[in-house]
Structure formats: C-alpha cells, structure tokens
Structure 1
Amino acid sequence: MPEGHTLHRLARLHQDRFAGHRVRVLSPQGRFAASASAVDGSVLERAEAHGKHLFHFYGPERAVHVHLGLYGAFTEAELPVTEPRGQVRMRVVGPTHWTDLRGPTACELLDGGEIEAVRARLGPDPLRADADPDAAWQRLSRSRTSVAALLMDQKVLAGVGNVYRAEVLFRHGLDPRTPGRELPRATWESAWHDLVALMEHGVRYGRIDTVRPEHEPEATGRAPRQDRHGGEVYVYRRAGMPCLVCGAVVRTVDLAGRNLYWCPGCQG
C-alpha cells in the first residue's frame, strides 16, 4: 500500500495540472458514473492529501475522495486522451494532461460533513502544515499497545506505513515492542521531526531514503540496494541480512498482518 508521501506527490501533481480549470470527469468502468457526472465540467479548486487519502475539491462542500488501498494507482499522460485500458474507475481530463484511476479501495463523492468525518478518523499527518504532533502523543502516551503497532494506526498518525515505521524506530534505537506509554516525550518529538524530514524527502524524490550519509553505499563501499521500491534503508525488507550499523542479523516478525523489521543489536 502506498505510504503518505506518494499521496502528497499525487496531490501536488494534480494541483499543478488540473487545479483552477474546468475538467472532464468520467467513469469508463461505470462504477463511479453518477458521481463523475455530478462534477463533470466543474472547476477543480484544489487537490490535497491527508495521510493515505487524496481529495479533489470541487468547492468547499464537495470533494472526490480516493484511497488507493493495495491495488489502486493513477496513470498520467499528456493530451490527447486515448481509449481507456482496463477497468478505469475515474478519468480526469484537464487542459494539458489527463489521469486514469484504476483499482482503488475508495473513489467516492463526499459532501462537507462526510469529508470532515473522514478527516476526523485520521491522526496528524507529518506532511501537512496543520499537523499537531501533540495529538499523536496523547494517544501514544496513554496506550499499552506497542509503539510499532501504534505508528501504523492511522488514527494515531496518518500516512506512516510499514517502511517509515520500521525505519524511524531503527533510527531512534527504539525496541518496537515498547508500549506507547513508556515512550519518552523527548524521543517522540525527535521521531516526529525525523518523520517530517524523511517524508518530505520522499515527496521530493519519489523514493524512501532513510540511511544517514555515513552508511550510504558510497561511504561504506557496499553495493547499492536492489529492490523494486528503491531507496536506501536500514532494516525494511532486509531480514536475515547484517545490520548496516552493528552487523547483527536483521529480524522480522508478523505484527497485525504486516511484517515488522528490526535490528536486535541496535534496538534491543
């Protein structure tokens, strides 16, 4: 499932290409046809993301809400448009570009109250200017649940997925099994600022890089990481391999249906 930086990249792309213009909104597949017709020909006022959710606003009280889930994806192209390929849930056509959405978990037209209901379910997003890290801290500091599970809970923190979760825990030497209520406030504040910087880097470059300069391939002489996700990371998907810092074997365990990666040497 895409992490939050991917949705913010999409929001910025759609803001640049479509916002401020009247757009065609279609549903070649048909599953979004009624809602598409309701906004077809309207001005897309802005595109923005909150966590793993994308919103196309067609006024203060009307927005198309998209959650990509595991299989959703947008494809982008310059005009002219071509015939739809596959099951296109939504097509947006602007003055210079068009985009097709396939396979999302959610693609729905919401009114003002429904938009706020979605946002109310989400914790602060490190990539949003209006984010309040104290709101996440209030949930973390009262919970017996492991910090590893809490960081993946979108009600606690919006946009953080499996990669950023594993990497920020490693970078701060945190045992992933630590209950949230045992997390020091100073450690949380440092981790929050780290997430902001790491995720902003992800938005800028379209990949997740978490390795500090002294551990980069160029500095250590090791081979660059070979992975379809790209980016240099410390522990994510490196189970059975030596830690880049201490040499201990990176471990993995299933936690709430997701693979958790950590270094027993650096994180206890």
Structure 2
Amino acid sequence: MPEGHSVHRIARQFARNFVGRPISASSPQGRFAQGAAELDGRTPTRAQAVGKQMFLEFDEQVWLRVHLGLYGAWDFAGEILVDPTIASANGRMGQTNQRGTDLAAPGDAPVFDEDGENSLASIGAPRRTRVHVRMSEQTRTLGADGTADTEEPGTAEWPPPVVGQVRLRLMTDVTAADLRGPTACAVETPEQVDAVIARLGPDPLVGDPVENEERFVAAVRRRNVAIGQLLMDQAVVSGIGNVYRAEMLFRARLDPHTPGKAIPEELVRALWDDWVGLLRVGVETGQMMTMDDLSPDDWRRAMASRDDRHWVYHRAGLPCRVCGTEVVVEEMQARKLYWCPSCQR
C-alpha cells in the first residue's frame, strides 16, 4: 500500500501542475462517470494530503477525495513541472540521519529503483502489481529544470491513449493524470471532507507541529494496545504503513508487542520525531529510505534496491544487520510484521 510520503508527493505534483488551471474530467472505465461530470470544467484551487488520503479542492467548494488503498496509483503524462521541494525529481539525493536530511548539490544523477518509486510519471502502488504506461511512451521529455523539452512533432501522442482500467482522468491543456485502482474516489462537500480529516490522526506535514506531537503521545500512552498495532491505526497517526511500522520499531529498538501505555513518554516522543524525519526523507526522495549513515556507494545501492534500503522489512530469515539474529515475521493486524527478537526486546 502506498504510504504517506507517496500521497504527499502526489498532492505536491497536483499543486504544481493542476491548481489554478481549468481541467477536463472523464471516467474512461465508466465507474466514476457521475463524479467526473461534476468535476469537468472546474478549476482546482488546492491540493492537500493527510496521511494516506489526498484532497483536491475545486471552485465552488467541490472536493475530490482519493484513497489509493493497496493497488491505486496516479500516472502523469505531458508537461510535468517539478515541485522544488521534491529533491530527487531534480536529481538531488538525500540521506537519513538523526537530524533529518542531508541533500547533495543539484546535478547529482537521480537513482531509480526497480519499483519506480523515484518517479514523476507514476506514483502509487508498485508498478509490477498493475498496468503501467512507461514514461517514454506517454510523456514529453523532461528537461533538467523539470519542464518539458521541445520535441519533434509525432514523438508523443496527445492526449495520451487510455491504457488499462482508468477510474478517473484529469487533464489540463498540457498535463494529464490517470487514476487506477483506488480504494476510494469520491466527490464530497467541505463538511464531508472535514469529517474524514477529523477521524485521522496527526500528520507531521499538516497542522501545528507541537499539537501534532501531543496528540500522538496522548493517543499512544492511553492505550493498552500493542505499539505495532497503534502505529498502523490511522486514527492514532496518519501515513504510517507496513514498511514504516517495521522500520520505526526497529530504529527505536522497541518490541512490537509492547502496550502503548507501557512505553515511556520520552520514547513515544522519539518515535514521533523519527516519523517526522522519515516522512520528510520519503517525500524528498520518493523512497522509504530508513537506514542511516551510509557511504555514498551504499546510499546509491539502497536508492536503487529496496533490499538495501531497510533494516528489517522484508528480511525474514536473514541475519539482523546489527546483531546477526535471524529476523522474524509474524501476522499483526492481517499484515506481515518484520522484527529482530534480539535488538527489539
């Protein structure tokens, strides 16, 4: 399932390429025909992500809410303007550490992984699980500054052909966004949007930082529920999924079964601080990079391969990178939880 960093990247891409521009909307698949008709001809005025949900506001207080779920993704085509806050889009690289992100100078070559996480053309579920149109087939060439280079006539088809089951297509005169496989795609009123957001836990990139931290600490410490479950509860904290859960618990050396109310307050606050930093890195790089203090070569390998990017996630049966104990996997909340029984005890 796409986690919070991906949804924030999508919202920023919409803000950069769609907000303030009249759009056409259609539902090639037909399942969202009525909703698309309500959006057609309107102008987006704001794009916002909260956790795993994106909200796109249109004129006259009409909202589009999208939850990608397990298999959803947006495919973008045409002239894609790069948000300067998304570092890897401009070829810059970041590295996780206890203080946040260290960005190298612009001009460093971008690193794309086998799942295409570091991408402007497609953001969402891993590409191998769904239909995907390659960037070279549907987009105009992007220049170094993120704008479209001039190309010879006939090298790209516009508008791009519809491929696969597209629930919703949004288009300006130069940019298209195709939505496939979402769990939720709905046109809503401001009151409905407010009600959804009210049910969500704090997101480090939305709202007051101090209030967000206090909400998280209070929600964890009042519950006699395993922290491995609480981190996946979107009413406790927004945006954390299976990967970030496993990695955050390992980084904190915390047993996933520890009840929230039994965790010292300072450790709960440290978990929040870690989520703030990891989410920032994820938004900037487009990848869930959770390892610290890597050499430049190890960093590039990790950016290119998920197997070199995480401490315990997806490493069941392999030795812990710290102590050598075999990493175990178990079911928690119907999702696989990876952890080290030696480091996390």
For Structure 1 versus Structure 2, the TM-score category normalised by the shorter chain is over 0.9
CA distance in 1, matches of 2:308, 2:285: 10
1:254 paired with 2:321, answer no
Structure 2 match to 1:67: 67
The offset of 1:226, in angstroms, is 9.8
Structure 1 match to 2:146: none
Structure 1 residues 155-209: Cα deviation after superposition (integer angstroms, max 9, x where no partner): 1011000111111111111111110001111111111111111111011111111
Structure 2 match to 1:116: 194
The number of equivalent residue pairs is 265
CA distance in 2, matches of 1:108, 1:226: 34
The counterpart of 1:194, out of the listed 267, 271, 274, is 274
Compared CA separation, residues 203 and 226, structure 1 to 2 (3 A):
closer
Structure 1's unaligned 5+ residue stretches are none
The offset of 1:225, in angstroms, is 5.7
The offset of 1:127, in angstroms, is 2.7
Q: Given the two structures, how large is their TM-score scaled by the length of structure 2? A: 0.73
Compared CA separation, residues 190 and 224, structure 1 to 2 (3 A):
same
Q: Which moved more, 1:225-234 or 1:87-96?
A: 225-234
Compared CA separation, residues 115 and 167, structure 1 to 2 (3 A):
same
CA distance in 2, matches of 1:248, 1:125: 34
Contact 1:215 1:245 in 2 (8 A): no
Amino acid across the alignment from 1:133: E
3-state SS of paired residue (2:274): helix
The counterpart of 1:86, out of the listed 152, 164, 173, is 164
Structure 2 match to 1:175: 255
1:213 paired with 2:213, answer no
Structure 1 residues 72-97: Cα deviation after superposition (integer angstroms, max 9, x where no partner): 11111106212312221110101321
Structure 2's unaligned 5+ residue stretches are 80-157
Structure 1 residues 11-62: Cα deviation after superposition (integer angstroms, max 9, x where no partner): 0111111011111111111211112111211110011100000111114732
The counterpart of 2:246, out of the listed 147, 151, 166, is 166
Contact 2:289 2:310 in 1 (8 A): yes
CA distance in 2, matches of 1:150, 1:70: 19
Compared CA separation, residues 265 and 216, structure 1 to 2 (3 A):
farther
Amino acid across the alignment from 1:168: M
The offset of 1:128, in angstroms, is 2.2
CA distance in 1, matches of 2:308, 2:3: 14
Q: Which moved more, 1:97-106 or 1:32-41?
A: 32-41
Matches within 5 A, 1:1-268: 1-59=1-59, 61-78=61-78, 80-130=158-208, 132-213=212-293, 218=298, 224=301, 229=306, 232-268=309-345
The offset of 1:124, in angstroms, is 0.4
CA distance in 2, matches of 1:106, 1:38: 16
Amino acid across the alignment from 2:58: Y
CA distance in 2, matches of 1:6, 1:98: 18
Contact 1:207 1:230 in 2 (8 A): no
3-state SS of paired residue (1:266): coil
The offset of 1:218, in angstroms, is 3.8
Q: Given the two structures, how large is their TM-score scaled by the length of structure 1? A: 0.92
Compared CA separation, residues 229 and 58, structure 1 to 2 (3 A):
farther
Structure 1 match to 2:127: none
CA distance in 1, matches of 2:50, 2:303: 30
3-state SS of paired residue (2:288): coil
CA distance in 2, matches of 1:226, 1:254: 28
Amino acid across the alignment from 1:40: D
Contact 1:207 1:231 in 2 (8 A): no
Across the aligned residues of Structure 1 and Structure 2, the Cα RMSD in angstroms comes to 2.1
